Structure formats: C-alpha cells, structure tokens
Amino acid sequence: MNIQHHLQPETLMAYAAGTLPAAMALVVGCHAERCSQCRKELRSAEALGGQMLETVAAKPLPEAARNNVMALLDQQPLPERAPASAVASTQGDDSFLPKRLKSLLGIDNYNQLKWRKLAPGIEKFNLPLDEGKSFMLRIGAGLAMPVHTHKGAELTLLLQGGYHDKLGSFHMGDVADLDSSVEHQPVAFDDEPCICLAGMDAGLRFKGLIPTLMKPLTGL
Amino acid sequence: MTDSVGESVDARHWISCMEQVASQRDKQSFMELFDYFSPRVNAYLLGMGVDSGLAEDLSQEALLALWNKAHLYQPRKAAVSTWLFRVARNLWIDRLRKQRATVYELDDEYLEAGVGAEDPEEDTGALDADRIQEALDALPRNQAQVVFKAYFEGKSHSEIAADTGMPLGSVKSSLRLALQALREKYGENV
C-alpha cells in the first residue's frame, strides 16, 4: 500500500521517548505496523535515545545491587527462542485491522464493535483508554463531520475507506497528524463508509453555534 | 574512541560482550556491560521521575533482561545502548504508565520476531556513535536542552514549552533538527 500521509518526526520522537498519552501512542503504533517509512524514522528516534544513554551523567547503583544481580544470574531460566506472535494484523484490500486493536479489543472485524450512533450515518466507539481520548468513528459514504478544531494534538488513522478535507485525500493506512491550529471538516469518500481511529490529548472544539449545541450529544 | 577505519571501538566492544553472553553465558562480559550501563539506566530512570528505590530495582531488571535476551539482540538493527534504552523505557511504561503498555509490548514482539529484519532502512546498529555524538554536540544549546527534556525528563512538548519559555513550534522544530542531524550523519556512513 502506498501511504501518502505520515506522522510528524516530533510525534515519532515523543513515542520513542515514551511520553505520548496512551490514546495517541496507540495510533502511532497502529500506523507504524503498516508504514515502513515511519518505522525507519522511529528506529532513528530510538537510536537518539540510545546515544543519550551513552552520554548521560552516570548514577551508579549501590554495591549491594551489583552483588544481587550477580547472584541472580544462575537462577535465570534458560533463554527461549522469540515467541511466534499469536495475533497478526489483518491487511486486506479494503480494510486494515492492526494487531494492536485486535489485541486491545479482542475483535476480528469492525462489525463486532458496539458502535454508538451519533447522528444519521455517523457512529462512534470509545476505546477503553482514559489517558487522552481514544475513539473510532464510522462515517457513512459521502457524509461530513462537523467543522472542528482541537484543544490539543489529534492523530487520526484511516482503517477503512477514506476521506478528504482541505489537507488532502486520506486513504487506508494514512494518518493525519494535526495540532490545535488546524480547523477541518473531513468528508468520507462517496463509494464506501470510512472507519478511522483517533487519539488526542484533549477534546475537540466545534466551530459555531450548532456544533456547540451538538457537543453534549456527540460526546466528542 | 575510534580505530583506524573510524568505527567506534566502544560500540563494537559492547556488541562482542553481548555475543559472549548469548553464546557462552559469559558472566565477565555481562558484568562489564552491567558496570557501564547500569549507572546510565539508573540516571535515565531518575530523570524520568522514578524514586531512587524503584529506579534501582528497575535498573537491575533492565540489565537482567539483557542477560536473558542477549540471544535475541541483532547488532545490525540497533546499538546495545539503543536496545537497552528501549528496555528501560518499556519498564518505565510498564510500571508507571500502565495504559501505554499494550502498545509498547507489541513493539518488543515485532522486534523479537524480526519485523523489518530484511529492511536495511530500519537498521540503526551500524550508526557510528562518535559521529552521532558529533551531530548532537553541534546542536545549539537550547535545542540540545529540548531533546534532553523530551527523552530524559519525560516531558511532553507542551511541558517543555512551558519549562523553557520557548513557543511550542520552536520546541517541535528543535526536535526535528536533532533527528535530522542524526540522520544526516547516518547517511554519511551508508
């Protein structure tokens, strides 16, 4: 698959540093499953962490800790081969179900989720993560989301179908990595429903009166 | 420290220690790794806000993981320091940021199962440590500080902006420049 929209380098660095809230780390991990370019960037970001480990001012452990570890060496189990992974991601022509979502939600396809209706043709599923906001949206073919900006950063990964907004066309596997300055209104492609996974560090902020009134209803 | 071909002797030394641990269960090589890396892992964890008792425990655990998983280490993919950075980070996440653990556990699984193994683009093990260091040393002081806060104080980008008084956009561009500097050095070696 040809991925057109990638994660920003600083987002991958925050992931490498371990500092993204779970909701956003999940989107990064899922995108990286499918995107070798971002995996490559991520490996470099981790190499930067490794290099810093070389140069940080050392803080030695007490002698007792050293003796303790030495004594434990003989009690360690014999090394095992790398376990073959039980779960694999599903990467079909028309849908992408990352291994991380399978493992977190225990599903084999997106119809198994308990989708909650937000508006005609628009459904939402909240993921069980409370560090940041994590949810999926299923948007009917050709339908539009309300115009919104974000209080903080927002990551959106396309899992099925796609949408377009003023930033371009987003297809399966693409990710939109946006900060709070971006105001946009995604519209799903005409030919099929769009499913996406969003992760943010704060809520959405809708523009104008009607979306503001909708906010308590949609729970976004 | 470099030899005549300009490769870091230290980085290669740690790789050979890992090989000794993997193939011979060689305790002397392990203790060399322990003595060099455990104070660094400990410093990392303390910087991430872990209290000293737990940092001591987790540092021991990280180094024991190295003993137990040395046979899964692939020198071509990552330097020993990078591998250990990842182990220490994942221990921190597992104990102190539990919600993120599912996401990162699968990263380990990928690396151990060799995802990206055939893709030389994902190799960072051949990075020349001295030259990366050169790139980092060349960063302006405020940029270097941003990178340190992001990686070794566990700060989010907006926290770094608040800490330093820099605009969020400058925090992000500092991080990008640091990664770019590293990648350029990397490019010279390929």
pLDDT tens for B62-112 read 999 999 999 989 888 889 999 999 999 999 999 999 889 988 887 766 566
Contact A48, B151 (CB under 8 A): yes
What is the extent of the structural domain holding A209? 1-76+95-220
Of B78, B113, B121, the CB nearest to A50: B78
User: Residue A90's pLDDT is what?
Assistant: 78
Residues B23, B115 share a domain: yes
Residues B154, B70 share a domain: no
Q: Does B156 touch chain A (CB under 8 A)?
A: yes
CA distance A209 to chain B (A): 29
A24 has a pLDDT exceeding 80: yes
Residue A140 lies inside a defined structural domain of this protein: yes
Residue A84 lies inside a defined structural domain of this protein: no
Residue A142, by phi and psi: left (phi above 0), alpha (psi -120 to 50) or beta? left
Residue A150, by phi and psi: left (phi above 0), alpha (psi -120 to 50) or beta? beta
Q: Which tens digits make up the pLDDT trace of A62-102? A: 999 999 999 999 998 877 776 666 667 777 777 899 999 99
Residues B116, B31 share a domain: yes
CA distance B28 to chain A (A): 10
More confident residue, A103 or B127: A103
Residue B138 lies inside a defined structural domain of this protein: yes
Q: Which residue of B has its CA nearest to A56?
A: B40
Contact B142, B156 (CB under 8 A): no
Q: Does B89 touch chain A (CB under 8 A)?
A: yes
Q: What is the ipTM of this complex?
A: 0.89
Residues B153, B100 share a domain: no
Residue B136 lies inside a defined structural domain of this protein: yes
Distance from the first to the final alpha carbon of chain A: 31
Residue A82 lies inside a defined structural domain of this protein: no
CB contact under 8 A, B133 and A60: no
Chain B hits for A83, Cβ within 8 Å = 109, 112-113
Of B83, B105, B122, which residue is a domain's last?
B122
β-pair partners for A204: A150
CB contact under 8 A, B82 and A46: yes
CB contact under 8 A, B179 and A18: no
Of A19, A45, A51, the CB nearest to B81: A51
Q: Which tens digits make up the pLDDT trace of A105-134? A: 999 999 999 999 988 999 999 999 989 999
CB contact under 8 A, A59 and B85: no
Distance between CA atoms of residues B52 and B118, nearest Å = 40
User: Is the C-alpha dihedral spanning A6, A11, A15, A16 positive or negative?
Assistant: positive
- Cβ-based neighbour number of residue A217 at 10 Å: 9
Residues B161, B85 share a domain: no
Residue B40 lies inside a defined structural domain of this protein: yes
Residue B162 lies inside a defined structural domain of this protein: yes
CB contact under 8 A, B152 and A52: yes
Of B25, B43, B107, the CB nearest to A57: B43
CB contact under 8 A, B132 and A51: yes
Residue B15 lies inside a defined structural domain of this protein: yes
Residues B25, B111 share a domain: yes
Residue B65 lies inside a defined structural domain of this protein: yes
Total domain count, chain A: 1
What are the φ and ψ backbone dihedral angles of B66, each rounded to 5 degrees? -65, -40
Residues B167, B100 share a domain: no
β-pair partners for A164: A169, A187
Residue A39 lies inside a defined structural domain of this protein: yes
In whole angstroms, what separates CA B126 from the centre of its chain? 14
CB contact under 8 A, B172 and A60: no
Among B106, B184, B189, most A C-beta atoms within 10 A, so best to mutate, is B106
Residues B144, B160 share a domain: yes
Residues B164, B73 share a domain: no
| Res. A205 pLDDT band, cuts 50 70 90 | low
Residue B4 lies inside a defined structural domain of this protein: no
The CATH number of the domain holding residue A40 is 2.60.120.10
Residue A88 lies inside a defined structural domain of this protein: no
Total domain count, chain B: 2
The CATH number of the domain holding residue B144 is 1.10.10.10
User: Residue A212's pLDDT is what?
Assistant: 46
Of A39, A51, A58, the CB nearest to B116: A39
CB contact under 8 A, B122 and A54: no
User: Residue B190's pLDDT is what?
Assistant: 40
Chain B hits for A150, Cβ within 8 Å = none
Residue B2 lies inside a defined structural domain of this protein: no
Residues B61, B76 share a domain: yes
User: Residue A14's pLDDT is what?
Assistant: 96
Residue A86 lies inside a defined structural domain of this protein: no
CB contact under 8 A, B176 and A76: no
Q: Which helix (H) or strand (E) holds A9?
A: helix A9-17
The CATH number of the domain holding residue B91 is 1.10.1740.10
Distance between CA atoms of residues B113 and A99, nearest Å = 14
Residues B24, B100 share a domain: yes
Residues B94, B63 share a domain: yes
CA distance A9 to chain B (A): 6
Among A34-43, A179-188, B45-54, which is the least confidently predicted range? A179-188
What is the rounded (10 degree) CA torsion for B134, B135, B139, B141?
-40
Chain B hits for A200, Cβ within 8 Å = none
β-pair partners for A188: A163
What is the rounded (10 degree) CA torsion for A186, A24, B101, A110?
0
CB contact under 8 A, A130 and B106: no
- Measured between alpha carbons, how far is residue A175 from residues A139, A162, A199 in Å? 16, 11, 11
What is the extent of the structural domain holding B182? 129-189
Whole-structure pTM value: 0.89
Distance between CA atoms of residues A3 and B151, nearest Å = 28
- Record the tokens describing residue B142, joined without a space: 């405020």
Contact B121, A36 (CB under 8 A): yes
β-pair partners for A95: A160
Q: Which residue of B has its CA nearest to A129?
A: B99
Of B46, B99, B180, the CB nearest to A59: B46
Residue A171 lies inside a defined structural domain of this protein: yes
| Amino acid occupying residue B26 | D
Residue A5 lies inside a defined structural domain of this protein: yes
